[in-house]
Amino acid sequence: MARFLIVEARFYDHLNEMLIAGARAALEDAGHEVDVLTVPGALEIPGAISLAIESQQYAGYVAIGVVIRGETYHFEIVAGESARGIMALTMDGMAIGNGILTTENEQQAIVRADPSQLDKGGEAAKAALALLNLQAKFA
């Protein structure tokens, strides 16, 4: 049994709740413990994970959030930079599943977040579990 941290950027409460439910279910079904940390936005997720890594309390991480395209360029910055930050940590050997949704509208986000539909929170947790297994394999 390992301990995982779900780091969520809470902006769309109802969507985050579905993503967290999917991630939590996947991790708990695999026999792991789960903590949840809330940060202001998706751009803060990689920094929060980096700080948590320093604490050495967690075996893996799941990034959760929703970025819906608006009328400005901000969408591209948030989507790209949050993914880049998570990828950098993953390339350093951390077991991180990226469950930050980047969608055109809320309806797309609902379908992806809902555990009874595409369950992207659960998929992100399973990705973190797969990377944790690879860490053990190559240790």
Say whether 113 counts as a known binding-site residue: no
Q: Is 14 a catalytic residue?
A: no
Task: Determine if residue 36 is labeled as part of a ligand binding site.
Answer: no
69 is known to lie in a ligand binding site: no
Is residue 7 annotated as involved in ligand binding? Answer: no
Tell me whether residue 130 is annotated as binding.
no
72 is in an annotated binding site: yes
> Does 112 belong to an annotated binding site?
yes
- On whether 68 is known to bind a ligand per the annotation, the reply is yes
Q: Which of 28, 33, 38, 74 is catalytic?
A: 74
Question: Are 52 and 6 spatial neighbours (Cβ–Cβ below 8 Å)?
Answer: no
Task: Count CB atoms within 10 A of the CB of residue 70.
Answer: 9
Nearest to 95 by CA among 65, 55, 124, 64: 124
Residues identified as active-site: 74
**Residues of each annotated binding site:** 11, 42-44, 66-68, 71-72, 98, 112
Binding residue numbers for 5-amino-6-(D-ribitylamino)uracil: 11, 42-44, 66-68, 98
Q: Residues comprising the binding site for (2S)-2-hydroxy-3-oxobutyl phosphate?
A: 71-72, 112
